[in-house]
Amino acid sequence: MALIFIFFALGSVLAAVVCMKFYHCSFEEIPAVVAALPNGVAAGLMWMNNVSQVATFLLPVLLFYVLVGKPSQHGLLVKSFNVWVLLSPIIILTSSGLIDLAAYLNEAMIPQGSWLESVFKPQEESATQLTEQILRATDASSWLIYLSIAIVPAICEEMLFRGLLQPLLSSIYRNHHVGIWMTAFVFSLIHFQFYGFIPRLLLGAVLGYLMVWTGSLWSSIIAHGVNNATAILVFSAFGSTTPPDDSWLTSTYTLLGSVVVFVGLIYLLHSKRKATSVEQLYASSGPPQAESLPVS
> Which is higher by pLDDT, 120 or 236?
236
Per-residue pLDDT at 185: 95
The count of other CB atoms within 10 Å of the CB of residue 279 is 19
Q: Mean pLDDT, to the nearest integer, of 166-182?
A: 91
Handedness of CA 109, 115, 116, 122 (dihedral sign): positive
Average pLDDT over the chain, rounded to an integer: 80
**Tell me: the pLDDT tens digits for 28-44?**
777 776 666 555 567 77
**Tell me: the pLDDT tens digits for 53-88?**
999 999 998 888 888 766 555 455 555 667 888 889
Residue 23 to residue 30: CA distance in whole angstroms: 9
The percent of residues above 90 in pLDDT, for the chain, comes to 26
Q: Mean pLDDT, to the nearest integer, of 223-243?
A: 88
The four Cα atoms 264, 270, 271, 274 give a dihedral, to 10 degrees, of 140
Residue 16 to residue 30: CA distance in whole angstroms: 7
Residue 28 to residue 131: CA distance in whole angstroms: 23
Q: Tell me, rounded to whole angstroms, the distance of Cα 79 from its chain centroid.
A: 21
Residue 227 to residue 236: CA distance in whole angstroms: 15
The percent of residues above 70 in pLDDT, for the chain, comes to 83
Residue 150 to residue 229: CA distance in whole angstroms: 5
The answer to whether 170 and 176 are in contact (CB under 8 A) is yes
List CB contacts of 222: < 8 A, sequence separation 6 or more.
85, 88, 89, 154
Q: Mean pLDDT, to the nearest integer, of 230-241?
A: 85
Confidence category of residue 229, pLDDT binned at 50, 70, 90: very high
Q: Mean pLDDT, to the nearest integer, of 256-279?
A: 77
CA-atom Rg of the chain in angstroms: 20
Per-residue pLDDT at 138: 62
Question: Which phi-psi region, left, alpha or beta, contains residue 37 (left: φ > 0; alpha: ψ -120 to 50)?
Answer: left
Per-residue pLDDT at 113: 76
Q: How far is CA 281 from CA 48, 143, 162, 206, in A?
A: 37, 38, 14, 19
Which of 237-251, 266-280, 281-295 bottoms out in mean pLDDT, i.e. has the lowest?
Answer: 281-295
Confidence category of residue 187, pLDDT binned at 50, 70, 90: very high
State which of 2-11, 12-21, 131-140 shows the largest mean pLDDT.
2-11
Domain locations in the chain? Answer: 1-68, 72-284
**Tell me: the pLDDT tens digits for 140-166?**
678 888 999 999 999 999 999 998 899
Per-residue pLDDT at 39: 56
Per-residue pLDDT at 284: 47
Which of 53-67, 99-113, 273-287 bottoms out in mean pLDDT, i.e. has the lowest?
Answer: 273-287
- The DSSP secondary structure of the chain, one letter per residue, reads -HHHHHHHHHHHHHHHHHHHHHH---GGGHHHHHHH--TTHHHHHHHHHHHHHIIIIIHHHHHHHHHH--GGGGTTT-----HHHHHHHHHHHHTHHHHHHHHHHHHHTS-TTSHHHHHHHHHHHHHHHHHHHHHH-SSS-HHHHHIIIIIHHHHHHHHHIIIIIHHHHHHHHT-HHHHHHHHHHHHHHTTT-GGGHHHHHHHHHHHHHHHHHHT-HHHHHHHHHHHHHHHHHHHHHHSSSS--TTSGGGSHHHHHHHHHHHHHHHHHHHHH----HHHHHHHH--SPPTTTS---
Per-residue pLDDT at 34: 67
Per-residue pLDDT at 38: 54
